[in-house]
Amino acid sequence: MSTPVLTAVAWPYANGPRHIGHVSGFGVPSDVFSRYQRMAGNQVLMVSGTDEHGTPIQVQAEKEGMSPQQAADTYTRQIAEDLRGLGLSYDLFTRTSTGNHAEVTQQIFLALHRNGYVVPRTTTGAVSPSTGRTLPDRYIEGTCPICGYDGARGDQCDNCGNQLDAADLRNPVSRINGEKPDFVETEHLFLDLPAFTETLGKWLSTRTDWRPNVLNFTRNLVEDMRPRPITRDLDWGVKIPLDGWRNEPMKRFYVWFDAVIGYFSASVEWARRSGEPDAWQRWWNNPDARSYYFMGKDNITFHAQIWPALLLGHNGEGDHGGQAGPYGRLHLPDEIVSSEFLTMSGSKFSTSRGTVIYVNDFLREFGADTLRYFIGVAGPETQDTDFTWDEFVRRVNYELANEWGNLVNRAVTMAHKNNGGVPRPQAPTQADEDLKAQARAAFDTVGAHLERSRFKAAASEAMRVVSAANKYLSDQQPWKLGDDPERRDSVLHTALQVVSDANTLLTPFLPHSAQKVHEALGGSGVWAAQPDLSEVADLDLPDRTNPILSGDYSAEQARWSSVPIEVGRPLAKPRPLFAKLDPKLAETGPEWAPITSPGNGDGAA
């Protein structure tokens, strides 16, 4: 039976193009998962967009002489193009500056407020002495008052994991210009997190099958639940729909608050654009639906604690109850799929320090599938992983070119040369049947790994089939069977069948080359659909247009099963799937790539 599967992908911040560290956490893993789920027959809704509000966008805009909206417009288009180039099959990739997102955010907030989960507080806020602008907590750095870590942010200490208030930091400074911030009294609205201690704790205690890195982090989340601010003193963001607040020119929702609501608002926008405005309910009001959230490890708090609390509050299911909000009972996350960091020479990718490989540069030189494969088979799935050019070149040359590409080329070329099409098997031997059985069995094994987002294990198992097929061809030597055409045809038919099966197994990782293999095997039409980037009118804001990623994935032919190849189907001589890379790249990478040494650089991965 088909299951509604929500793939909720972390929202990249619209302050610059993406680097490969970013997409190793939220991008490629979510797409591999979604493509598999579609192939398995499930109803997938994959949504995300650019996170565009908050002070960082204002700071970036000022640097470049633009308004915040202009800066967001510029970088949203860049990011959408990067993700399109990677082949990330979003049903909708949108943005947080839409009218739809503002309306949904305000409705969620009003439900929380009505149920008593929002409280006003007079607090101390950080202000830049030179600009008078509020500094977000994450832009203040100092010494953690709990563990003494030098380099804690004003919202959280990455060393001990505790939530912090910027005013509590010792020796706080602005990460923007190094000045010491002024702390002034201001009134804000807070999410009453302590009012979710019992219900959130019970819910988290049932999440026993999450990745170990997520489980280990979440165990401590309910031990120190404090009210968390959801408003900020700034003029760029979603307005607050309360009397006494809505007309305040310098009061907006905190960027983290409206960003997590984006998963739901994007689903609503997708439904509205599809012509079926209530279609989002299949994923959000359906107890049989499954929801998976993909992100880097620095976002676990927001998805395992904050977002579930907002959902519980809207549903009226916090510790002191309430009534369900306007969207009914919304479904809580079923799994948090958090990746660790992809590093380079032992350092985190950092745009500011030049330790960065941008996605668009990588795609221009190496194409999408090489990066997708590297992240799948060697990415930071459960621990920080170092990207090296040596490892990348090795994976491409020995696994993609020598193993997979060579198998496709040998099998199709020999069948084309000797038969012109797929030959008919004659009296298959035990070796033939064993190889085909191994390939068929891999669908269960690889599928089970992909179901649990175990991408390394899935890719390795698929490549094990490829290696077995290469060994089979080397053992059977069909090029020497000219005087035994019946045996040669059986061998080539077996090889082509396993190429077809292996191509299906690898499609979630290699959708672009999978289309080429499909065509090399005589197939036509769309095997693995790709997303489209288009400019559309905002649904609610006149004279505004937005770049979106979307796609029609219903017409693609890829299905998660072994399908017998059609005897007699014409074959054309194939072109190489993957070009081997110059071994010299293993030493320093291409000319445009940074050269780093261990211990250099830091920043968000």
Backbone conformation region of residue 65, classed left if phi is above 0, alpha if psi is from -120 to 50, else beta: left
Does position 123 have pLDDT exceeding 90, yes or no?
A: no
Helix (H) or strand (E) holding 45, with range, is strand 43-50
When mean pLDDT is compared across 97-111, 213-227, 419-433, 508-522, the lowest value belongs to 213-227
Residue 208's pLDDT is what?
87
The tokens describing 147, both together, are: 């563990």
Contacts for 230 with CB less than 8 Å, ≥ 6 apart: 109, 118, 188, 189, 190, 191, 253, 254, 257
pLDDT in tens, 296-321: 988 999 999 999 999 999 999 999 99
Q: Of 203-217, 406-420, 445-459, 494-508, which range is least confident?
A: 203-217
- How far apart CA 253 and CA 259 sit, in angstroms, is 10
Separation of alpha carbons 366 and 352, rounded Å: 24
Cβ atoms of residues 111 and 326 within 8 Å? yes
Do the beta carbons of residue 450 and residue 409 sit within 8 Å?
A: no
| Residue range 374-390, pLDDT digits in tens | 999 999 998 999 999 99
Distance between CA 531 and CA 550 in Å, rounded? Answer: 5
- Distance CA(572)–CA(420), nearest Å, equals 8
Q: CA nearest 117: which of 194, 198, 186, 223?
A: 194
| pTM, entire model | 0.92
**pLDDT tens-digit series, residues 14-24:** 988 999 999 99
Question: What b/e sequence results for 546-562 when a residue is b if at least 16 CB atoms lie within 10 Å of its CB, and e otherwise?
Answer: bbbbbbebeebbbebeb
DSSP letter for each residue of 268-322? HHHHHHHT-TTTTHHHHS-TT-EEEEEEEGGGHHIIIIIHHHHHHHHHT-STT--
pLDDT band at 42 (very low <50, low <70, confident <90, very high): very high
Banded pLDDT at 352 (limits 50, 70, 90): low
**Which backbone phi and psi does 505 adopt, to 5 degrees?**
-60, -35
Residue 162: per-residue pLDDT: 80
- Residue 481: pLDDT band with limits 50, 70, 90: very high
At 47, the pLDDT band (50, 70, 90 cuts) reads very high
What's the pLDDT score for residue 354? 67
Mean of all residue pLDDT scores within the chain = 93
pLDDT of residue 598: 35
Distance CA 27, CA 32 (A): 9
- Place 160 in a pLDDT band, splitting at 50, 70 and 90: confident
What is the arithmetic mean of pLDDT over 69-95? 97
Q: Are 189 and 257 in contact (CB under 8 A)?
A: no
Q: How would you classify the pairing of strands 252-253 and 118-127? A: unpaired
